């Protein structure tokens, strides 16, 4: 994937060496090319994230590390778990009807800090409301 300056990106895996973790969202603030320690040209980019205190945290990536990034203009409910956004626009359709339940709908709605707009096929929305998966299926009882 090719990223452009100013692109909104999400870290998709934990990288303890760089102190950046799955789900963090930042912006590409620098792109360039330089010589590495072997005197070979190497492409790089810098992503600026906000740390827990609201301060900028700049992380540098070389080309082979870019697979850890994905564009973050839109994301799934699954990727939003544990995070909040000012505005959330949820699209609910029957494409993956097996995933439609009230837990998914609750997660979608509660990610919005200020406003939530739902665009839904009527049958898909009813599926969310009517389907409850409160019971977790685990092997714990057998241990």
More reliable by pLDDT, 7 or 2 = 7
What was the pLDDT predicted at 138? 66
pLDDT of amino acid 140: 64
- CA–CA dist 108, 102 (Å, integer): 10
The candidate with the shortest Cα–Cα distance to 61, out of 43, 39, 37, is: 43
What are 15's strand-pairing partners?
20
Nearest to 90 by CA among 72, 71, 111, 69: 111
What pLDDT does 85 receive? Answer: 86
Q: Cα separation of 132 and 109, whole Å?
A: 16
In this prediction, residue 70 carries a pLDDT of: 94
Residue 131 near residue 102 (C-beta atoms within 8 A): yes
Task: Tell me phi and psi for residue 58, to 5 degrees.
Answer: -100, 125
pLDDT score recorded for residue 134: 62
Q: Which CATH class is domain 77-130?
A: alpha beta
Phi/psi of residue 106, nearest 5 degrees: -60, -45
Q: What is the pLDDT of residues 93-140, one digit of tens each?
A: 999 888 899 999 999 999 999 999 999 999 999 999 999 876 666 666
Confidence of residue 141 (pLDDT cuts 50, 70, 90): low
Considering only CA atoms, which of 104, 98, 77, 81 is closest in space to residue 89? 77
pLDDT in tens, 39-53: 899 999 999 999 889
Mark out the alpha helices in the chain (DSSP H runs).
77-80, 102-110, 122-130
Q: What is the pLDDT of residues 61-102, one digit of tens each?
A: 999 999 999 999 988 888 877 778 899 999 999 998 888 999
Above 70 in pLDDT, residue 23?
yes
DSSP 3-state of 68: helix
State the Cα–Cα distance between residues 82 and 91, nearest whole angstrom.
Answer: 19
pLDDT of residue 136: 62
- Domain edges within the chain: 8-71, 77-130
């Amino acid at each position: 994937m090719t990223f452009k300056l100013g692109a909104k990106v999400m870290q998709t895996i934990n990288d303890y060496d760089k102190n950046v973790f799955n789900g963090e969202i930042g912006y590409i603030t620098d792109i360039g090319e330089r010589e590495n320690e072997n005197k070979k040209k190497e492409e790089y980019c810098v992503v600026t994230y906000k740390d827990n205190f609201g301060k900028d945290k700049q992380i540098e990536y070389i080309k082979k590390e870019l697979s850890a990034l994905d564009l973050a203009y839109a994301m799934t409910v699954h990727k939003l778990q544990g995070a909040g956004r000012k505005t959330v626009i949820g699209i609910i359709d029957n494409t993956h009807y097996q995933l439609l339940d009230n837990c998914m709908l609750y997660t979608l709605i509660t990610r919005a800090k200020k406003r939530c707009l739902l665009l839904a096929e009527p049958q898909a929305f009813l599926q969310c409301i009517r389907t409850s998966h409160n019971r977790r299926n685990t092997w714990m009882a057998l241990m």
